[in-house]
Amino acid sequence: MRLKEEDLFELEAEALIKEIKAQYGYDFSGYARASVYRRIKRFLGQKHLNSMGELRQFLFTDSFFFENFLQEITVNVTEMFRDPTFYLSLRENVLPILSTYPFIKIWDAGCSTGEELFSLAILLEEEGLLDRTKIYATDINQKVLRQAKEGIFSASNMAAYTSAYYAAGGKRDFSEYYTSNYGNVKFNSALVRQVVFYPHNLATDTSFNEFHLIVCRNVLIYFNRELQERVFRLFDESLVSLGYLALGKKETLAMSGISGDYNFVDKNNRLYRKTS
């Protein structure tokens, strides 16, 4: 009996994905299904909606509601200095090489609410590179981009972020970077003085510049193989020769068509360098 329910849900979810593409232009057809279905069910629960029909009605009559939905369907859970050894490796293995360029361009793809972006900016600041770097911070979702620009995070995470910062080789007193206020902290906006924010959809948009480093962590796990391949090609086109690519700890180039042109800089942290 329950199996039928699940089949019905899938049919409705697939129809919804098609309608969203037609009406709003966001294409989720290349997203891994288990997670998308789970996110939709979770959203139904949060909004106390009883059926997919109800969800449809709200989504297509209220664009604000849709923006909210978009933020929930695309996972926006992130943290500062996640996997500190990755940032340490970036600091020790990549930034010294990037410092030999007169001007550095970095793409933070899928920057979400900005925790990763501020972590990168702090790293660059401490290595004396921020002023000759331009970071392009992109996300599919405009709402999270606005949040990223603000740099306001919950104070409840600061203990964890502080220890991650030091584990990542942090050189200063971490509290120099932010001010606390009413349960939140606001990071110094000078950290994003070299950042350009804009919406970019990895599923449908094209290459827009050339970069020395592309950071895209824990985004590709949500895509199916075909979409992953599209994104790898996009990154390959967008990297200068000898450029660096940083993926999430459980993401790999191994199955992709471009893997032959990349070597590991740090295998454990999935940090790659283009060989030509």
Q: Which residues contact other proteins by CB under 8 A? A: 2-3, 6, 32-35, 37-39, 75, 77, 83-84, 218, 221-222, 225, 248-252, 255
The count of other CB atoms within 10 Å of the CB of residue 118 is 24
Question: Using alpha carbons only, how large is the chain's radius of gyration in Å?
Answer: 20
Report in angstroms how near the CB of residue 160 gets to other proteins at its nearest. 8
User: In angstroms, rounded to a whole number, what is the distance separating the alpha carbons of residues 184 and 133?
Assistant: 28
Report in angstroms how near the CB of residue 56 gets to other proteins at its nearest. 22
The nearer residue to other proteins, 89 or 238, going by C-beta atoms, is 89
Total residues belonging to the chain: 276
The nearer residue to other proteins, 6 or 210, going by C-beta atoms, is 6
The nearer residue to other proteins, 6 or 19, going by C-beta atoms, is 6
User: In angstroms, rounded to a whole number, what is the distance separating the alpha carbons of residues 263 and 253?
Assistant: 10
Nearest to 271 by CA among 82, 85, 79: 85
Please return the burial class of 139, using the count of CB atoms within 10 Å of its CB with bins 0-12, 13-18 and 19+: buried
- The separation between the first and the last C-alpha atoms of the chain, rounded to the nearest angstrom, is 56
Nearest to 109 by CA among 269, 222, 259, 30: 222
Q: Which residue has the tokens 């967008």?
A: 238
Q: Which residue has the tokens 């509601």?
A: 65
The nearer residue to other proteins, 18 or 250, going by C-beta atoms, is 250
The nearer residue to other proteins, 211 or 235, going by C-beta atoms, is 235
Report in angstroms how near the CB of residue 190 gets to other proteins at its nearest. 29
Report in angstroms how near the CB of residue 120 gets to other proteins at its nearest. 18
The nearer residue to other proteins, 213 or 220, going by C-beta atoms, is 220
Report in angstroms how near the CB of residue 2 gets to other proteins at its nearest. 6
Report in angstroms how near the CB of residue 177 gets to other proteins at its nearest. 21
